[in-house]
Structure formats: structure tokens, C-alpha cells
Structure 1
Amino acid sequence: MEYDPQNPFARILRGELPSLRVYEDDFTVALMDIMPQADGHVLILTKEPVAEVFELSAEGAAACMRTARRVARAVKTALNPPGVMIVQLNGSAAGQTVPHVHFHVIPRHAGLDLKLHAAVAADMTQLREFAERIKAALSTDA
């Protein structure tokens, strides 16, 4: 998959599109997925302009994993799911739809199927509530 600098995640990183950010550091941004597969679904974006993880620098890859781990802990604390899934897709054959490296942190509950990927927009009031709860959990996990 080829990188497109006009992809929605690049535009979010440049401030051209709005987002509900829950965390940011020098290498990554974590934000609520506006078309979540489950309540509390968070995306971890690299700030590097690369489409697939194979192109990501070692430092960028380590930063993404650190952020994914930290956000997953916060999701577990804030929302108390019995499980948390961390997913990263490369190429359209793998299901990647946005040509920008990103990780999904998805709370999981037994017996609840995931919603279809990028199919239904979230209720923004509920999304803001989840974002605040996750940010609060992140603030206590330095």
C-alpha cells in the first residue's frame, strides 16, 4: 500500500480534521475511533508518514508499541473489559483501509461480536464520555 499524504490520519495529525485525542507524545497520537468496532475503540497513530509497519523506523515502532500498551492499560482501567485486543494491519489484503501506520486498541467482551470495520459512526456524546474516562486513567498511569 502506498502512502497518501492526504489520508485522513495525516490530515488529523496536521490539524486539518478534528479528533478526540486521549494521548500524545513526540512519536504517536492516540484518539477515539469515530467508527468503532466496540465501545472504547482507540487508534494509535504514528507521526511518521509511512503506510505499513515495515517502513516504520525502529524508534517509531517501539513508540507505537509503548503507546498501545499504555492505552490498553488505560482502556482496561477505565472501561473494565475482560479483554483488550491490539491489532495492526498492513496492506489492503490484510484489511488496512487507511494508508498510514496505526494500531487498534479494542475492548473485548465474551459473546459480543465486533461491529463491522468503518461501518457505523459512533454517538459523539458517548465517544466523548469514553475519551474522558480513558484520559483520566492515562493521567494516573505516568
Structure 2
Amino acid sequence: MSSECIFCRIVAGEIPCAKLYETETVLAFLDIAPVRKGHALVLPKAHHPDLWSLPAGLGDDLLAAMQAVGRAVVAATGAEGLNVGMNNREAAGQLVPHAHFHLIPRNAGDGLALWAQSSYAGQVEMARLAEAIRARI
């Protein structure tokens, strides 16, 4: 636990939350500043700053929580779909440096745009980048 991390303080019960789901390793609660009503956060109870610091075994617990909470959010809000997202590091919009997933209920035509599309200059540029990524895996 990090005493400076707001999510660690929520996990410890020092700060209240609208709790949705809890296991030994995972906590889910409603986001206090939702993109849409029902916007939930799913996070490991242990402090891990981002995706790359999560232990592999914890992934199963997080996925099970996202599935259970996601189904419930969709049912409770009447949503037609659900976005699952994770921001990693400040440059990507991560506001709290504690790994967490956003579950955002969606409906057709709700006006929420999450990503603007881009493109490659061509197949050569795309192939070069793919090779550079593969070389680092």
C-alpha cells in the first residue's frame, strides 16, 4: 500500500467509495467523476502503478471482476454495450498511478467518442513498425 495513493486509501477503508465488488485481491467501485452514469473502476487491492507492474496471476482475478461487474453495469444501466479501458502513465491520461480499468456503459448514439482514428503512410511504414514491435517482445 502506498499512503499517498488515493486508491490504496480507498482499499484500506480510509476514503469511502460506492463499492460494487470485492474479493481478496480486487476491488470495484463507481467512478466519482463518471464519463457516463454507471462508469466503474476495477483495480487490484495491492498497489501496482500500471499494466506492466501487474503480476501475471492477478490478471485472472481482474478479468473475472471485469466480467462480473461489466455484466451488472450493463444490466443496471440498460446499456447496449460496454467500453473497457486502461490508461497507463500520465501521458496516456492516467490520473491515479495505481493500475485500474474503466468500465463505461454505452448506448448507440450516446455521443461519447473515445478515440480519433489515424492512419499509416502506407503498408511499408506499418510493416516497419510491426517489425520493431515484434523485435521487442
Report the TM-score, using the length of structure 2 for normalisation.
Answer: 0.77
The alpha carbon displacement at 1:4 in A equals 5.2
Q: Is the 8 A contact 2:50 2:89 kept in 1?
A: yes
Report % sequence identity. 37
Q: Secondary structure at the match of 2:64?
A: helix
Q: Secondary structure at the match of 1:22?
A: strand
Name the structure, 1 or 2, with higher relative contact order (CA <8 Å, separation 6+): 1
Larger deviation: 18-27 or 72-81?
72-81
> Aligned partners of 1:93, 1:66: CA distance in 2, in Å?
28
The alpha carbon displacement at 1:111 in A equals 2.1
Structure 1 residues 33-53: Cα deviation after superposition (integer angstroms, max 9, x where no partner): 110000111110111211001
> Aligned partners of 1:76, 1:93: CA distance in 2, in Å?
29
Structure 1 residues 33-77: Cα deviation after superposition (integer angstroms, max 9, x where no partner): 110000111110111211001111112122111101111111122
Query: Matches of residues 47-126 of structure 1 in structure 2 within 5 Å?
Result: 47-114=45-112
Q: How many residues of Structure 1 are paired with residues of Structure 2 in the alignment?
A: 114
Ranges in structure 2 where 5+ consecutive residues have no aligned partner = 114-137
| AA in 2 matched with 1:32 | L
Map of 2:19 onto structure 1: 21
Q: Is the 8 A contact 1:40 1:107 kept in 2?
A: yes
Give the greater-gyration-radius structure (CA).
2
Structure 1 residues 89-110: Cα deviation after superposition (integer angstroms, max 9, x where no partner): 1111111110001111110122
Q: Secondary structure at the match of 1:58?
A: coil
Kindly report structure 1 stretches of 4+ aligned residues shifted beyond 3 Å. none
> Aligned partners of 1:10, 1:109: CA distance in 2, in Å?
32
> Aligned partners of 2:76, 2:7: CA distance in 1, in Å?
25
Q: Is the 8 A contact 2:8 2:46 kept in 1?
A: no
